[in-house]
Amino acid sequence: MARKPSTARRDENTAIIHDQTLQRGTGGELHQTAEGDTPVLTTAQGGPVSDDQNTLKIGPRGPTLIEDFHFREKIFHFDHERIPERVVHARGYGAHGYFETTRSLSDITRADIFQRVGEKTPVFVRFSTVAGAKGSADLARDVRGFAVKLYTKEGNWDIVGNNIPVFFIQDAIKFPDIIHAVKEEPDRAFPQAASAHDNFWDFITLTPESMHMIMWVMSDRAIPRSFRFMEGFGVHTFRFVNAQDESTFVKFIWKPKLGMQSVVWNEALKINGADPDFHRRDLWNAIEAGDYPEWELCVQVFDQTFADAFDFDVLDPTKLIPEEILPPITVGRLVLDRMPNNFFAETEQVAFMTQNVPPGIDFSNDPLLQGRNFSYLDTQLKRLGSVNFTHIPINAPKCPFHHFQQDGHMAMRNPSGRANYQPNSWGEGPRESPTAGFRSFAAEESGTKARLRPESFADHYSQARQFYRSQTATEQGHIAMALGFELSKVQKPVIRERMIAHLLLIDDALAKTVAGKLGMTAMPKPADAAIQPRDDLALSPALSILANAPDSFTGRKLGILIGDGSDAGIIKALRGAFEKEGATVELVAPQPSGTKLSDGSAMDADHAIEGGPSVLFDAVAIVLADETKHPAARDFVADAYSHCKFIGFTAGAKSLLDRSGAEADDGMIALDDAAAASEFLIACRQLRFWPREDTLMQ
């Protein structure tokens, strides 16, 4: 695959700050250059600095003077560098790109973004984990945020979604409880970025509405291989509204062009140690290499008749509409092609809000969505500190905008002219437009004021069962293992038992397997269900990752373990075949440089073996001339083997394979000569050799 250097990483989002920096260095006449073209260091007030190494003192060993305004300003600013991290989704990573409309939806929405095929709209996307702090590791078992800001010609549209199409709770008032429960326990402040603890499972088992979501969170969806291999979901039902003010319901889905892929749990644990930045590094590397990640935007559109006939309430955010029942329609593509210039300026300060919708997109009465629309504004004020957070370039619309909001902390733009209100007699300023402006869909509403949950939200188990049963046997095994792991960390037996009681309503065999993993001798009674789970929902193969595997190694990574005497021809052939596929190839060796290959050439490696464990790769090739005693080499093979990776090997690698417990199977491919490289690639397109997992479990 051709590698393009990334486009110049400079845009209007940081240009203001950047230009000011330049002016500070070069703008005036007095103090412009230190050496050559190097600008003179100044204070924030623009004053040139003569010494940035020593504070101002009386004598070399004397006290520091308050008079040292440069020191005072420097430390003052440093002391205030941190802003509050997001209360959820604190750890995230973002990138710029564009959305291209590929299908006009002008019949069902008047949103400008969907009128013209080929229309390109700038976007900023932030991926995140939910529970962990800003500095936590990427491979936590967790939901991933998938938040997209589309800078449309009619203002910003934020689809603030997740990589899972349903949620834990049905009503926004429960959000602080679920988040408190999953985050670290308040007395001990651990565990961090982990749901495997009593408080979380206590809440879950006392909240049956979370059962569908918990099946997803225990599935491989919660340990994605990369942001690039995840689906994204708007979760709630939204509305499209057309020029005739007619409404159609819609759900939004992002589908990754490279297909979906996840890691296995033991691998996730090890990745967190080897490279806690695994996901952000992956996105950075892909974009810098010109391998721009891409998703399709799909919509599930339906009318009130469909909603009335559907098995569940379309306003219930713990339910999804299976793709087999309502096939998604592709309406556009999202391409991420530029990393931010500065993480803080853009990724940290970006403010997503569900209430940001252009005319033609509207809300449903989903009570979770309604609560979110209220919540996101508060959080921006708290985090960014001023009502003027839209003045930060990453949050400002890219279309013309005019309003009379003024002043406040850090106001960068105030309306000019005399009139700062409307209507006015000065002929100044903007006026509202009943035709171009946002008009809420004129839904008829009536009812008695009450704190109620609708009866139609009461079935908490049927879709959980449908999800579980729609997984392949391998994926079902992973769900059982995940439940076993998580509940093994729960200390209070009653909480474990309660979960088994719920699982009995989802799948009897699953409940028994998990109980067995926990060493439970007697099964509890099934939980009391408000509505008995249904057995008649058709399976939905679209819910499985493995049933929809891409049969491609594009975008994946091969690690080749080499040592002195490694066959140069095989290494070259592997590199050629895998790079042609659009994969990345990295070399791992005992030392970073100076490995002597069979043809006498010296080869630099990308990783020394201690720093390049096999968990960083999707498949590995062991191209060794003879025995290596390196302990890390044994882990390299043993992990790749137990994580069901395809392993290519040369004859010289045999003794290492034997010592590592890697037994011959169809996932182990002999690399006898350079020609075998393409055969190995064909095997690697299956991504993992899952039958090995059964052998390992025996």
Residues known to be catalytic: 89, 162
Using CA atoms, how far residue 688 sits from 399, 644, 667, in Å, is 46, 5, 8
Verify binding: residue 175, ligand HDE, rule CB under 6 A: yes
Q: What sign does the CA torsion over 452, 455, 456, 457 have?
A: positive
Closer residue to ligand HDE (CB): 272 or 379: 379
DSSP readout, 92-135? Answer: EEEEEEEEEE-S--TTT---GGGTSTT-EEEEEEEEEESSS-TT
Q: Give the residue from 519, 501, 505, 361 showing the smallest Cα distance to 441.
A: 361
Q: Give least dist CB 428 to ligand HDE, A.
A: 35
Closer residue to ligand HDE (CB): 147 or 633: 147
Using CA atoms, how far residue 147 sits from 123, 357, 697, in Å, is 10, 14, 38
Q: Give least dist CB 168 to ligand HDE, A.
A: 8
How far is the C-alpha of 507 from the C-alpha of 51, rounded, in Å? 71
Considering only the stretches 32-40, 158-166, 262-270, 593-601, report the one whose residues sit in contact with ligand HDE under the rule CB under 6 A. Answer: 158-166
Closer residue to ligand HDE (CB): 371 or 576: 371
Verify binding: residue 157, ligand HDE, rule CB under 6 A: no
How far is the C-alpha of 430 from the C-alpha of 547, rounded, in Å? 54
Closer residue to ligand HDE (CB): 92 or 322: 92
Verify binding: residue 86, ligand HDE, rule CB under 6 A: yes
Closer residue to ligand HDE (CB): 160 or 543: 160
Q: Which of residues 498-527 bind ligand HDE (CB under 6 A)?
A: none
Considering only the stretches 347-355, 423-431, 578-586, 611-619, report the one whose residues sit in contact with ligand HDE under the rule CB under 6 A. Answer: 347-355
Considering only the stretches 35-43, 154-162, 268-276, 386-394, report the one whose residues sit in contact with ligand HDE under the rule CB under 6 A. Answer: 154-162
Of 145, 208, 360, 393, which one interacts with ligand HDE (CB under 6 A)? 145
Query: Please, are residues 574 and 634 in contact by the beta-carbon 8 Å criterion?
Result: no
Of 161, 208, 393, 526, which one interacts with ligand HDE (CB under 6 A)? 161
Verify binding: residue 128, ligand HDE, rule CB under 6 A: yes
How far is the C-alpha of 14 from the C-alpha of 25, rounded, in Å? 17
What does the block give as tokens for 100?
């291209």
Of 371, 565, 576, 582, which one interacts with ligand HDE (CB under 6 A)? 371
Distance from the Cα of residue 269 to its chain's centroid: 18
Verify binding: residue 496, ligand HDE, rule CB under 6 A: no
In degrees and rounded to multiples of 5, residue 272 shows phi and psi of: -60, -30
Q: Give the residue from 478, 125, 499 showing the smallest Cα distance to 268.
A: 478
3-class SS at 449? coil
Considering only the stretches 266-274, 367-375, 587-595, 652-660, report the one whose residues sit in contact with ligand HDE under the rule CB under 6 A. Answer: 367-375
407: left (phi over 0), alpha (psi -120 to 50) or beta: left
Verify binding: residue 167, ligand HDE, rule CB under 6 A: yes
How far is the C-alpha of 48 from the C-alpha of 525, rounded, in Å? 76
Verify binding: residue 384, ligand HDE, rule CB under 6 A: no
How far is the C-alpha of 293 from the C-alpha of 94, rounded, in Å? 12
Closer residue to ligand HDE (CB): 40 or 130: 130
259: left (phi over 0), alpha (psi -120 to 50) or beta: left
Q: Give the residue from 111, 165, 148 showing the smallest Cα distance to 463.
A: 165
Of 126, 149, 498, 557, which one interacts with ligand HDE (CB under 6 A)? 126
Q: Which of residues 200-259 bind ligand HDE (CB under 6 A)?
A: 235
Using CA atoms, how far residue 355 sits from 252, 260, 359, 376, 459, in Å, is 15, 29, 12, 8, 29
Q: Give least dist CB 269 to ligand HDE, A.
A: 24
Of 105, 123, 150, 172, which one interacts with ligand HDE (CB under 6 A)? 172
How far is the C-alpha of 641 from the C-alpha of 306, rounded, in Å? 48
Count of residues interacting with ligand HDE (CB under 6 A): 25
Distance from the Cα of residue 685 to its chain's centroid: 24
Closer residue to ligand HDE (CB): 381 or 696: 381
Verify binding: residue 375, ligand HDE, rule CB under 6 A: yes
How far is the C-alpha of 183 from the C-alpha of 26, rounded, in Å? 49
Q: Give least dist CB 197 to ligand HDE, A.
A: 21
Q: Give least dist CB 373 to ligand HDE, A.
A: 9
What burial letters (b/e) apply to 371-384, b meaning 16+ CB within 10 Å?
bbbeebeebbeebb
Closer residue to ligand HDE (CB): 24 or 174: 174
Considering only the stretches 156-164, 266-274, 528-536, 686-694, report the one whose residues sit in contact with ligand HDE under the rule CB under 6 A. Answer: 156-164
Considering only the stretches 161-169, 560-568, 619-627, 656-664, report the one whose residues sit in contact with ligand HDE under the rule CB under 6 A. Answer: 161-169
Verify binding: residue 98, ligand HDE, rule CB under 6 A: no
Of 14, 40, 70, 89, which one interacts with ligand HDE (CB under 6 A)? 89
What does the block give as tokens for 9?
């990483």
Verify binding: residue 92, ligand HDE, rule CB under 6 A: yes
Considering only the stretches 318-326, 344-352, 468-476, 561-569, report the one whose residues sit in contact with ligand HDE under the rule CB under 6 A. Answer: 344-352
Of 368, 481, 568, 587, which one interacts with ligand HDE (CB under 6 A)? 368
How far is the C-alpha of 332 from the C-alpha of 100, rounded, in Å? 5
3-class SS at 503? helix
Q: Give least dist CB 505 to ligand HDE, A.
A: 24
3-class SS at 388? coil
Of 338, 372, 465, 688, which one interacts with ligand HDE (CB under 6 A)? 372
3-class SS at 186? coil
Considering only the stretches 97-105, 364-372, 540-548, 599-607, report the one whose residues sit in contact with ligand HDE under the rule CB under 6 A. Answer: 364-372
Q: Give least dist CB 176 to ligand HDE, A.
A: 8
Of 284, 376, 438, 441, which one interacts with ligand HDE (CB under 6 A)? 376
Using CA atoms, how far residue 40 sits from 19, 25, 34, 447, in Å, is 15, 6, 5, 68
Binding residues (CB under 6 A) for ligand HDE: these are: 86-89, 92, 126, 128, 145, 147, 160-162, 167, 172, 175, 235, 350-352, 368, 371-372, 375-376, 379
